[in-house]
Amino acid sequence: MEMMIYSIVSVKKNTKKLDALLAGIKGLSNTDLYVVTLDEIAAVVSDVNRADLIVDKSSAIEYAGVIETLAQQFTLLPVRYGSVMESTDTTKKMLERNYNEIQCNLLKVENKVEYGLKVFCDSEKLKTELKDKSETEPAIELEQGIEKSIYSKYLYKKLKEHRFEESLLAHIDAIIQNITTHLAQLNSIHRFKKMVTETTIIDVVILLKKNEKEGLIQAVKELQIQYTGLKFVLTGQWPPYNFVDITIK
C-alpha cells in the first residue's frame, strides 16, 4: 500500500507523545495517521490509494491542517503536498539515506516558527508623490552643443524618465533596507524577494524563536507607523516551510 507523507518529525527516540497526538487526528480522506520511525526521527504518513485520491484545494488545506497540528507540539520538516511513498520499507530507507541532512534541518528550525510579511504599496500614488518631488529638483541640463531640436526634446524626456526610475528604485531600496534592518534586530533568519509585483515592494519570510513573536509584531507596528502609505501584511505562525533546505533522494 502506498502512503502519503506529511512531515518528518523530531521525536528524540520517544514516539509515545506523537502516537498519542496522531490517535486524535485524521489524515486525508479520513485515514489513520501513523509513523515510520528511524532512531530520533519519524515520518508521519497515512495509507493512500492514488485512484481514490482527490487532488483539490480542500484536500491541500486538509493536508496542511495535519502539518499545522503536528507543528504545534513537535519540531518538524513539512513535506510538500503530493508526496507519496511506495511502502514503509522505502520510507525507512529514505530516512536512512538522508538522516544527517534531515537532522541538520530539524536542528535549524527547532523551537522556531515561520512568519510571512508582505508590504504592499499603491504604485500609482507612490509614483505621483515622487514625480511631485522631482518637479522641485533642478532641471536636467543637456550637454552643450546639443541643439534644441526634436532630438534634444526626446533626449531630455528620456533622461527625465531615467532619473525618475532611478529615484523610484532608490526610494524602494531605502524602504527595504529599513525593513530588513528592523528584522535583523530580532535575531531572526529572514529571506526576501523585492518587487515581486508592481504593488508588492517586498515579500519576506522570517524564521523566529517561538517566544519572540511579540518582538516581531512590535517591529511591524513601528514600520507601519513609519510608512503610513504602505500596507504591511503579517501572516503566521507557520510551520517552517520556507526554511527547509533539503531535496530528499
The answer to whether 130 and 124 have CB atoms below 8 angstroms apart is: no
Q: Which of 241, 214, 215 is nearest to 71 (CA)?
A: 241
Beta carbon of residue 159, minimum distance to other proteins (angstroms, whole number): 29
Beta carbon of residue 27, minimum distance to other proteins (angstroms, whole number): 14
The nearer residue to other proteins, 49 or 152, going by C-beta atoms, is: 49
Beta carbon of residue 94, minimum distance to other proteins (angstroms, whole number): 6
Cell of 170: 532608490
Spatial separation of the C-alpha atoms in residues 153 and 160, rounded to whole Å: 11
DSSP secondary structure code for residue 36 in this structure? E
Beta carbon of residue 244, minimum distance to other proteins (angstroms, whole number): 5
Say which residue the cell 518582538 belongs to.
215
Residues that bind other proteins (CB under 8 A): 2, 5, 7-8, 50, 53, 55-57, 60-61, 63-64, 67, 77-86, 90, 93-94, 116, 120, 122-124, 197, 199-200, 214, 217-218, 220-221, 224, 231-236, 238, 241-242, 244, 246-249
Spatial separation of the C-alpha atoms in residues 56 and 62, rounded to whole Å: 10
The nearer residue to other proteins, 160 or 209, going by C-beta atoms, is: 209
The answer to whether 238 and 198 have CB atoms below 8 angstroms apart is: no
The nearer residue to other proteins, 187 or 197, going by C-beta atoms, is: 197
